[in-house]
Structure 1
Amino acid sequence: MPTSTIELSIVMPCLNEAETLAVCIRKARKYFEVSGVQGEVVIADNGSTDGSQAIAVAEGARVVAIANKGYGNALMGGIEAAYGTYVIMGDADDSYDFEHLDNFVERLRAGDQLVMGNRFSGGIEPGAMPPLHKYLGNPVLSWIGRVLFPSQIRDFHCGLRGFSREAILGLGLRTTGMEFASELVVKSTLAGLTMSEVPTTLKKDGRSRPPHLRSWHDGWRHLRFLLLFSPTWLFLYPGIVGFGVGILGSIALLFGPIEIGDVGFDISSQLYLAALTLVGYQAILFWLLTKLYGQREGFFLPRGRMFSSLAERATLENAALAGLASFVVGLAIAVWQVVIWAGNDFGSLDPVETMRFAVPSALLMILGAQTIMSGLFVGILTIDIKK
């Protein structure tokens, strides 16, 4: 049919799926026949060596060869090659029901830009999902995704999902492996796309070989992506807590030991609190630098009002001035202590009282140096370049 009349492209990633590919294509084509939807089946082949390409052509599908390996690469290649206004993607292992896609198409026609399947509400056939995935992997990763990002999606990793091709291509999806499933949901959320979730079923796949998915390896890649794509949770919040507790505790102990119940805190506690302050401050700087770098490289990290305001002020010059001020104050305390030492003919001093001021002196100088160096890095990240 003319490509201009195609409303829906069903895209299936394929790597040696000869056992189940034909039945998946037949089900998809049957859906087109029954529903009257004008569509095509696109097989994004990732280098099959079992004759999957010939099977796909014989069943009336269009084969697109994807040279770069990986689940994400295969899907993005298929999406880019699709002719449909809408795309529904699903695995070619006969675990998803390509004959019943009306829920997806209805929501897409209603204006939703991403429609996710939910296997937990639609039904999971016994043996279709390993217990590790059903009770731990998918629920935990989906929960983490909803916590880190304001998403309504409850099944982050359902392989059957539909979307507006134009909207998804505009997200700049980059991951190449299984974490592509998380990236699509996360970036759609951050971009403010209209999303919904519909029930779908999952049955045991029809392959005799093990699936390509590696539970722990790919689960870690999903978790890693979710964390790295949320520097606010990864760096900023822990950093604020660490810096706040550390600096307040260090200041409190500057005036002498503190007792809380039967527990006493003194100079050794002040030293550890100073270390906590440094780690917290480093985490906050990492948040700022990660956000700036992510935006510069087009990773589509969210830019809220607070960050926009901070980014405008976080210039090399401002950082240099703030860092220098902190360093000078710390240095002044150190000089004052040297003067006291000289007044004692450079003899021995009370080690506890000396350290009580030496710790914050060193802390201020280190914080100042870190601020100056981070300011220089910000300067590098914010250099205007020709694109």
Structure 2
Amino acid sequence: MSQPGQPASASADSSEVFLTVVVPVYNEAFRIPSALQQILEYLERRPEACEVLVVDDGSTDNTAELVEKVSRATRAVRLLRHPVNSGKGFAVRTGMLNACGEYLLFTDADLSSPMTEADRLLEPLKSGYDVVIGSRALKPEWISPRQPLLREASGRAFNFLARSIASLDFRDTQCGFKAFRRQAAREIFSRQAIRGFAFDVEILYLARKLGYRTLEVPVHWGNDARTKVHPFRDGPRMVADLLRIRWNDWAGKYRSQESEPRA
């Protein structure tokens, strides 16, 4: 088992791995076995060598043990662990900086976007794009089931603020289904500072700032009522983090790469 802050383990040779699927998890014991099964079924249908990198963000249940059980059965699954819960953004950062694939994709453990949707992101990457993000906003009719009205309205409000404050033109910054060329991921995530749910906006801001070719594509998506994002609890901090992105840029914190992820 690898530890955060260390290079990717020898269990996966970066010269051979086509795709790494990064899955950040926190207390996901109730669904991680099914999620891994679905991801592995998708990867097994691909002709290339692929891997799954699960980042356990300080879970207090037996999530890590369940992932370890799968990793003992297949070398295609690796596990990184944070000793304490540090935020989804930090977990994704750890995974992306330790991934071995030529292409890197992160997805939520609930698989709101089915793994079969990954092809919609990978094809543009193979044709020359550096960052491709899934979007619920481009084809709302592909959302089933839909979110509750309050959550949908709060999501739209945050996306409006994100576009305004960070000067982004993406219709949906928060869909947890994004893919990167490895070099772009290294440059972007090594500069990432936001650890919470607003990290998506920061990495898109950095992608544009660094001049990477970006594309937003529609994906099928289904609401999971067990989401860990709560508008009233997380909303104020996420808005504050939008302002922090602008401050970080003004203060020059995005000019040079930071060190490998810290636990």
Q: Is the 8 A contact 2:53 2:95 kept in 1?
A: yes
Counterpart CA distance in 2 for 1:155 and 1:168 is 19
Aligned to 1:352: none
Counterpart CA distance in 1 for 2:194 and 2:133 is 19
Aligned-pair Cα RMSD in Å: 2.3
Aligned to 1:146: 163
Question: For 1:161-200, what aligned pairs fall within 5 Å after superposition?
Answer: 161-171=178-188, 172-200=191-219
Q: Is the 8 A contact 1:116 1:153 kept in 2?
A: no
Counterpart CA distance in 2 for 1:227 and 1:300 is 18
Aligned to 1:20: 31
Q: How many residues align?
A: 235
Q: Is the 8 A contact 1:42 1:64 kept in 2?
A: yes
1:44 Cα shift? 0.3
1:147 Cα shift? 3.0
Counterpart CA distance in 1 for 2:117 and 2:254 is 35
Q: Does 1:40 align with 2:51?
A: yes
Aligned to 1:224: 240
Question: For 1:218-257, what aligned pairs fall within 5 Å after superposition?
Answer: 218-230=234-246
Q: 1:291 to 1:164 in 2, by over 3 A?
A: closer
Aligned to 1:126: 145
2:235 corresponds to which letter in structure 1?
G
Q: Which has the higher contact order (CA 8 A, sep 6+)?
A: 2
Counterpart CA distance in 1 for 2:13 and 2:120 is 26
Counterpart CA distance in 1 for 2:59 and 2:164 is 38
Identity of aligned residues (%): 26
Q: Does 1:94 align with 2:111?
A: yes
1:222 Cα shift? 2.5
1:225 corresponds to which letter in structure 2?
D
1:104 corresponds to which letter in structure 2?
L
1:67 to 57, 69, 83: 83
Counterpart CA distance in 1 for 2:21 and 2:212 is 21
1:191 Cα shift? 1.9
Counterpart CA distance in 1 for 2:100 and 2:184 is 14
Q: Secondary structure at the match of 1:72?
A: helix
Counterpart CA distance in 2 for 1:31 and 1:186 is 30
Q: TM-score, normalised by structure 2?
A: 0.80
2:183 corresponds to which letter in structure 1?
E
1:133 corresponds to which letter in structure 2?
R
Counterpart CA distance in 2 for 1:133 and 1:187 is 27
Mind listing any 5+ residue stretches in structure 2 that lack a counterpart? Answer: 1-11, 257-263
Q: Secondary structure at the match of 2:202?
A: helix
Q: Is the 8 A contact 1:23 1:94 kept in 2?
A: no
Aligned to 2:173: 156
Counterpart CA distance in 2 for 1:219 and 1:111 is 35
Aligned to 1:8: 19
Counterpart CA distance in 2 for 1:291 and 1:80 is 21
1:79 to 90, 93, 96: 96
Q: Secondary structure at the match of 1:30?
A: helix
Counterpart CA distance in 1 for 2:249 and 2:41 is 47
Instruction: Give the number of the structure whose residues are more often helix, by fraction.
Output: 1
Q: 1:178 to 1:200 in 2, by over 3 A?
A: same
Counterpart CA distance in 1 for 2:27 and 2:90 is 16
Larger Rg: 1
Counterpart CA distance in 2 for 1:291 and 1:173 is 11
Aligned to 1:113: 130
Aligned to 2:9: none
Q: Is the 8 A contact 1:118 1:198 kept in 2?
A: yes
Q: TM-score, normalised by structure 1?
A: 0.56
1:150 Cα shift? 4.3
